[in-house]
Amino acid sequence: MIQVFDDAYFMKKALQEAETAFSKGEIPVGAIIVANNQIIARAHNLTEQLADVTAHAEMQAITAAASFIGGKYLLDCTLYVTLEPCQMCAGALYWSQISKIVFGATDVERGCGALGTKLHPKTKIVGGVLAEESADLMKRFFIEKRNLN
């Protein structure tokens, strides 16, 4: 019997990636990409470690998933990410033609929705999955960062 997982299950896996980022001093955003009910890519922010402003969790996950499937288009794939994608990541997701994006917390200042960024017309987007847990992790990170400085 094949087990089918729901969005909350996979978002918890993305939150684990965000926790890894947190532990490394990175902004705690985590992402996974799923195809056929299987995780094919796991990633978290690496902007500090790589000194690369483009090393967002989504960008890392797109690269890993494309490598896994052996092609640049992520058709029939779903991205789970703890924070609404920014404009840069939304652009990359547009070009990847990913089928679905599920995010946790909304980014009211830099999120693709707030900026009116277009996604691929065939991409479905679902927001607010484990939003509170995702937002709480982000808040905790910035509180700790402020207290260290």
Range of the domain at 70: 7-148
Q: What is the C-alpha to C-alpha distance for residues 140 and 77, in angstroms, rounded to an integer?
A: 31
Of 5, 40, 35, 27, the closest CA to residue 89 belongs to 27
Q: What is the C-alpha to C-alpha distance for residues 133 and 24, in angstroms, rounded to an integer?
A: 19
Active site residue 58: yes
Q: State the CATH number of the domain containing residue 103.
A: 3.40.140.10
Instruction: Answer yes or no: is 86 a known binding residue.
Output: yes
Tens-place pLDDT, residues 37-72: 999 999 999 999 999 999 999 999 999 999 999 999
Q: Which of 19, 26, 48, 58 is catalytic?
A: 58
Tens-place pLDDT, residues 78-113: 999 999 999 999 999 999 999 999 999 999 888 888
The answer to the question of residue 104 being in a domain is yes
Structurally, the chain folds into a number of domains equal to: 1
The answer to the question of residue 1 being in a domain is no
Supply the angle between the helices 131-148 and 7-23 in degrees, to the nearest 10: 10
